[in-house]
Amino acid sequence: MDLSFLKSLYERPGPYASVYADLSRTTEDASKAAELRWRALREELEDQGTPPDTLHAIEQTIEEELWDRRSEGLAIFAADGKVLHMERLREPIPNDRATLGALPDVLPYLAQRGERFPHLLAVVDRRGGVIDCVTAEGRHTHIEVKGDEDYPIRKTKAGDWNQSRFQRSSENVWKANAKQFAQEIVRAAEKCGARAIVIAGDTRARTAVLDEVSDRVLEHTVETDKNTSIDAPELEAELQRVLELKTTERIMNVAERFDRELALGERAVAGLPATAKAVREGRVETLLLADDLDSDARLWVGPDPADIAMSAEELRDEFGVREPLAERADAALVRAAAATDGELVVLPSNGPEGPAQNIHVGAVLRFTA
């Protein structure tokens, strides 16, 4: 997971209020229940000493969302009287939580957010088709492709005197439209950097399009026999299935590399002390964290992302940090990794047995010490 989108979050000095609010509405009294859950979270923030202006900014965001009914849950990070980052969740995290700390509590959010693969969805017919492309940052592009209709696109009935001529015309139109649509797919995929592509629609049109796309596009393409509209729920479900498979593949590839490098004693480290040292030195290419939201592991931090150590004394004596603060280890590691353009892989707690299965924290390194 690319962490660069978090960099702006860490520009404030803190303290940070982090809120995960369940706004789901699955019962008749769901709205009232959501309001009560928010009140409980608000009290927790007050008890922890959240500044009033920061609390007010969070409350405004929650109330607007409750009124608009746009999401099942929210992740909110606020400081200095402003909401710095807010994202609607596909589903609420298992338990509401609200914390105030030196750093934002981002792991629950990142674990649910997962990898954001740029992707493309295309529905084709014999006249053209529709393309939806989404970048890793969530920017959406919608393209409608209208092919040539100067000739009949349905074959004539057997026995017509000009059957052969019209059938050749139909075939030529299909092929021309397929080539045009394939070119649009290639352009759109390159523009958004698509790493997952799903093509649906008319069977013969799909086949013709796939014959025309580049090998690079074909490498990332999955074909589905669903002949439906681009906004159909079943097509969205198929896209999500493909993206989940891509995420699993990414996790397994990184975990296998981690195990291999660790066994060689080269570009990987395991355990909190070694990982903290590596991320402080800017050596972390990919940070690995277990999806353990209740972890009590702590690190000591200072104002700079590189201010990270196992003890307050180490930060004071070796790095000159005057007032070290204890913080969640995962929060400290993510901040430091983001600052040095490192990536993150969250190892699912309920994942299958495999590489890195016993690792709670570790890293694949750019270079050895």
C-alpha span between 102 and 276 (Å, rounded)? 17
User: Considering only the top CATH level, what class is 119-231?
Assistant: alpha beta
Task: Give, for all 369 residues of the chain, the pLDDT tens digit.
Answer: 999 999 999 998 889 999 999 887 666 666 788 888 889 999 999 999 999 999 999 999 998 888 777 677 899 999 999 999 999 888 877 778 999 999 999 999 999 888 899 999 999 987 889 999 999 888 999 999 986 665 454 544 555 545 555 455 566 777 888 889 999 999 999 999 999 999 999 888 899 999 999 999 999 999 988 777 888 888 889 999 999 999 999 999 999 999 999 999 889 999 999 999 999 999 999 999 998 888 899 999 999 999 999 999 999 999 999 999 999 999 999 999 999 999 999 998 765 555 656 678 999 999 887
Pick the CATH number of 253-365 from 3.30.1330.30, 3.40.1280.10, 2.60.40.420, 3.30.70.270: 3.30.1330.30
**Spatial CA neighbour of 136 closest among 186, 193, 51:** 193
Q: Let me know: does 195 contact 118? Beta carbons within 8 Å.
A: yes
CB of 130 closer than 8 Å to CB of 122? yes
| Spatial separation of the C-alpha atoms in residues 186 and 213, rounded to whole Å | 6
Alpha helices, H only, the chain: 30-47, 52-68, 107-113, 163-192, 203-210, 215-219, 233-264, 272-280, 312-319, 329-339
We find that the CATH architecture of domain 4-113 is 2-Layer Sandwich (3.30)
CA-CA-CA-CA torsion sign (233, 191, 118, 201): positive
Tell how strand 221-223 and strand 325-328 pair up. unpaired
Domain boundaries, the chain: 4-113, 119-231, 253-365
Instruction: Say if residues 140 and 134 touch (Cβ distance below 8 Å).
Output: yes
Cα separation, 330 vs 210, in Å, equals 44
Separation between Cα atoms, residue 243 and residue 232, nearest integer Å:
17
